[in-house]
Amino acid sequence: MTLLDAAPAKPPRRIGRYVLMGLGVIVLGAIAFIILRNFPEERAVSHFLTALEQGNYQEAYRLWQPSASYSYDDFLHDWGEKGDYGKIRDFKVLGSRSQGSGTVIVTVAINGEQPPRDLVVDRKTKGLAYSPF
């Protein structure tokens, strides 16, 4: 066998590794996007409930971003110490799901109440409301 009869050298298989690494990055990015998509809205609910837990009702009312027809007294009736939940002692954000393009429904357990409650968060303003769903 002579030099001219030799089989051509095979190129290194680096391209396959780069393709696999690229696909891995895309898959991990997609998973992170799905898991963290509603994180800002979940954090808005957490800030709201933390303010209630600390007894800072003015701040919680501001975070609720109420309409003009929902007064501070109405808010205290719903969320104050004599409200539906009593004094907020603990809460846990259980999850969230998108509802259309502009709102997110965040499910929370407040004071261990069953079933958990859904709150609606506006994606743009982070204003909260009761869920009609």
What distances in angstroms separate CA 6 from CA 12, 13, 29, one per listed residue? 18, 20, 45
Range of the domain at 94: 38-130
pLDDT for residue 131 is more than 80: no
Same-domain check for residues 77 and 115: yes
Sign of the CA dihedral with 43 first, then 51, 119, and 90 last: positive
Same-domain check for residues 113 and 57: yes
User: Could you count the other beta carbons within 10 Å of the beta carbon of residue 85?
Assistant: 17
Mean pLDDT to the nearest integer, 92-118: 90
Q: What is the pLDDT of residue 2?
A: 65
Same-domain check for residues 52 and 10: no
Same-domain check for residues 9 and 63: no
What is the pLDDT confidence band of residue 130, given thresholds at 50, 70 and 90? confident
Sign of the CA dihedral with 100 first, then 61, 114, and 84 last: negative
- CA 100 to CA 63: how far, in whole Å? 22
pLDDT for residue 3 is more than 70: no
pLDDT for residue 12 is more than 80: no
